[in-house]
Amino acid sequence: MPRTPKPVVPGWFDPDAGPAEFRLLGTRCRACDAVFFPREDCFCRNPGCAGGELVEVPLSRHGTVWSYTDAHYRPPAPYVSDPDAEWQPYTLVAVELAAERMVVLGQAAPGVTVADLEVGAEVELVPGVLDEDAEHTWRTWHWKPVAAGRRRDV
Ligand SMILES: [Zn+2]
């Protein structure tokens, strides 16, 4: 039986979007143009803004690496993982989106290590899978170097 795609957090992206259309979804204040991600649906958090309607906006698909690290240990609960399975390190990337003037954190695409990243390098947003169970594929987002495979030797 095929698994149903489900977003790890509802409303942060369309779990059914293909790679070309895949975008994170934030909100923008119509009064001051401030953009929020995670999305803010109640009130504008800009202290200098009297408040305006918050509308959903797709965020940029490309950004630059602001910082990165890797996770070589198993985080404690409520992080979900099988304590009997061997821990698989993963890479975290903080990506600066120029148009939105914000930094968005996410996991790097599978196979991408800290050796593949450098501050200022261009990355793109790609759909990813966080986990699967019997009924669902839990979808997330990943950051992938645009020039993956052309690693600089420094
Ligand atoms: Zn505002």
| Domain layout of the chain by residue ranges | 60-145
Which ranges in the chain belong to alpha helices (H)?
Answer: none
Rounded to the nearest angstrom, the distance between the alpha carbon of 60 and the centre of ligand 1 is: 20
Rounded to the nearest angstrom, the distance between the alpha carbon of 37 and the centre of ligand 1 is: 14
Q: In the predicted model, what is the mean pLDDT of the chain?
A: 91
pLDDT in tens, 122-147: 999 999 998 888 999 899 999 999 97
Rounded to the nearest angstrom, the distance between the alpha carbon of 125 and the centre of ligand 1 is: 26
| pLDDT classification of 69: cutoffs 50, 70, 90 | very high
CA distance linking residue 37 with residue 95, whole number of Å? 12
Rounded to the nearest angstrom, the distance between the alpha carbon of 54 and the centre of ligand 1 is: 8
What b-and-e string marks burial along 45-71, b requiring 16 or more CB atoms within 10 Å of the CB?
A: ebeeeeebebeebebbbebbbbebeee
Low-confidence winner among 1-10, 56-65, 74-83, 103-112 (lowest mean pLDDT): 74-83
Predicted local confidence at residue 153, as pLDDT? 41
Rounded to the nearest angstrom, the distance between the alpha carbon of 44 and the centre of ligand 1 is: 5
Residue 150 in this model has a pLDDT that exceeds 70: no
| pLDDT classification of 152: cutoffs 50, 70, 90 | very low
pLDDT in tens, 32-60: 999 999 999 999 999 999 999 999 999 99
Rounded to the nearest angstrom, the distance between the alpha carbon of 98 and the centre of ligand 1 is: 19
Rounded to the nearest angstrom, the distance between the alpha carbon of 38 and the centre of ligand 1 is: 15
Determine contact, residues 23/37, Cβ cutoff 8 Å. no
Predicted local confidence at residue 15, as pLDDT? 81
Rounded to the nearest angstrom, the distance between the alpha carbon of 50 and the centre of ligand 1 is: 7
Rounded to the nearest angstrom, the distance between the alpha carbon of 14 and the centre of ligand 1 is: 25
Considering the entire predicted model, what is its pTM? 0.86
Q: What is the DSSP letter of 9?
A: S
Please identify which residue in the block is written with the tokens 């997330």: 140
Strands 136-145 and 54-58: unpaired
Rounded to the nearest angstrom, the distance between the alpha carbon of 111 and the centre of ligand 1 is: 39
Determine contact, residues 130/140, Cβ cutoff 8 Å. yes
For residue 3, the one-letter residue type is R
Topology of domain 60-145 in CATH is OB fold (Dihydrolipoamide Acetyltransferase, E2P) (2.40.50)
Rounded to the nearest angstrom, the distance between the alpha carbon of 52 and the centre of ligand 1 is: 5
